[in-house]
Structure 1
Amino acid sequence: MEPDLFTAAAEDRQEKDPTGSPLAVRMRPRTLDEVVGQQHLLKPGSPLRRLVGDGAGGPAGASSVILWGPPGTGKTTLAYVVSKATNKRFVELSAITAGVKEVRAVIDGARRASGGFGTETVLFLDEIHRFSKAQQDSLLPAVENRWVTLIAATTENPYFSVISPLLSRSLLLTLESLTDEDVRGLLRRALTEERGLGGAVTLPEDAEAHLLRIAGGDARRALTALEAAAGAAIAKSEDEITLATVEETVDRAAVAYDRDGDQHYDVASALIKSIRGSDVDAALHYLARMIEAGEDPRFIARRLMISASEDIGLADPTALPLAVAAAQAVAMIGFPEAALTLSHATIALALAPKSNAATTAIAAARADLRAGAAGPVPAHLRDGHYKGAAKLGHAQGYVYPHDVPGGIAAQQYAPDAVHGKRYYEPTRYGAEARYADVVEKVRARLRGEESGG
Structure 2
Amino acid sequence: MTDPSRSLIPLAERVRPRQLHEIVGQRHLLGPGKPLAVMATGRLRSLLLWGPPGVGKTTLARLLAESSGAHFVGLSAVTAGVKEVRAVAAEAAERRAQGGQTLLFLDEVHRFNKAQQDLLLPFVEDGTLTLIGATTENPSFEVTGALRSRLQLFVLEPLTQEEVRTLLTRALTHPEGFGGALEVTAEALGALAAWALGDGRRALAALEAAAAYAHEGRLALPGVRAALQAKGLELDKGGEHFYNLTSALHKAVRGCDPDAALYWLARLLAGGADPLYVARRLVRVASEDVGLADPNALRLALAARDAVQFLGQPEGELALAEAAVYLALAPKSNAVYTAWKRARAEAERHGEAPVPLHLRNAPTATMRALGYGADYRYLFDDPEGSFRQTYLPEGVAGGYYTADGEGWEARVRERLAAFAERRAAARQKAPEGQKGGAP
TM > 0.5: yes
Cα 1:38–1:351 change in 2 (3 A) is closer
1:103-149 deviation line (CA, Å, top 9, x unaligned):
3343234335556x876432222233344443322211111122222
Q: Does 1:229 align with 2:210?
A: yes
Alpha-carbon distance in structure 1 between the residues aligned to 2:29 and 2:331: 48
Deviations 1:41-88 (A, max 9, x none): 1233433234333xxxx33x52x1111223322112211222333344
| Native 8 Å contact 1:216 1:294 kept in 2 | no
Give the match for residue 86 of structure 2: 104
Contact 1:270/1:286 (<8 A) preserved = no
Deviations 1:275-326 (A, max 9, x none): 957x998675144168649997654541255688689755x89425536879
Q: Distance in 1 between matches of 2:252 and 2:327?
A: 19
- Name the structure 2 match of 1:167: 148
Task: Show the 5 A alignment for 1:297-376.
Answer: 298-303=280-285, 305=287, 313-314=295-296, 318-319=299-300, 321-322=302-303, 343=317, 346=320, 349=323, 356=330, 362-363=405-406
Aligned equivalents of 1:123 and 1:197: distance in 2? Answer: 32
Question: Which secondary structure does the structure 2 equivalent of 1:138 belong to?
Answer: helix
Match of 2:223 in 1: 245
Equivalent residue runs for 1:97-246 within 5 Å:
97-112=79-94, 120-159=101-140, 161-233=142-214, 238-246=216-224
CA separation of 1:380 and 1:100: change in aligned 2, threshold 3 A = same
Task: Rate the CA distance shift 1:170–1:229 in 2: closer, same or farther, 3 A.
Answer: same
CA 382–290 in structure 1, closer or farther in 2 if over 3 Å, else same: farther
Q: Following superposition of structure 1 onto structure 2, how do residues 13-24 of structure 1 map, counting pairs within 5 Å?
A: 18-24=6-12
Partners of 2:75 and 2:50 lie apart in 1 by: 16
Distance in 2, Cα, partners of 1:341 & 1:311: 29
Distance 2:5 2:99 in 1: 27
* Count of residue pairs the alignment pairs up: 356
The alignment's TM-score, normalised by the length of structure 1, stands at 0.62
Over residues 400-448 of structure 1, what are the superposed CA-to-partner deviations in whole Å (9 max), with x where a residue is unaligned?
A: xxxxxxxxxxxxxxxxxxxxxxxxxxxxxxxxxxxxxxxxxxxxxxxxx
Distance 1:283 1:221 in 2: 24
Is 1:275–1:283's contact at 8 Å kept on the other side of the alignment? no
The AA in structure 2 aligned to 1:205 is: A
- Checking the alignment, whether the CA contact within 8 Å between 1:122 and 1:151 is kept in structure 2 is yes
> Take 2:254 and 2:332, find their aligned partners in 1: how far apart are those partners?
17
Aligned residues of 2:254 and 2:328 also touching (Cα < 8 A): no
1:150 partner amino acid:
L
Alpha carbons 1:310, 1:356 under 8 Å: kept: no
Gaps of 5+ in 2: 334-402
CA spacing shift, 1:130–1:377, aligned 2, 3 Å = same
Q: Partners of 1:274 and 1:286 in 2: how far apart?
A: 18
What one-letter code is carried by the residue in structure 2 that aligns with 1:47? P
2:154 maps to amino acid: L
1:85 paired residue among 54, 57, 67:
67
Does the 8 Å CA contact 2:187/2:239 hold for their aligned counterparts? no
Q: How far apart, CA to CA, are the structure 2 residues paired with 1:134 and 1:152?
A: 16
**Pairwise CA distance, 1:194:** 1.8
Structure 1 pair 340–108 and aligned structure 2 pair: CA distance change class (3 A):
farther
Structure 2 residue aligned with 1:38: 26
Which amino acid counterpart does residue 179 of structure 2 have in structure 1?
A: G
Q: Which amino acid aligns with 1:167?
A: R
Residue 35 of structure 2 is matched in structure 1 by 47
Cα distance in 1 for partners of 2:25, 2:411 equals 49
- When residues 15 and 139 of structure 1 are mapped into structure 2, their CA distance, relative to the original with a 3 A threshold, is farther
CA distance in 2, matches of 1:16, 1:379: 81
Larger radius of gyration: 1
Give the distance between the partners of 1:150 and 1:188, measured in 2 at CA: 33
Taking the aligned partners of 1:270 and 1:263, their CA distance within structure 2 comes to 10
Task: Give the whole-Å Cα distance in 2 for the aligned partners of 1:354 and 1:262.
Answer: 18
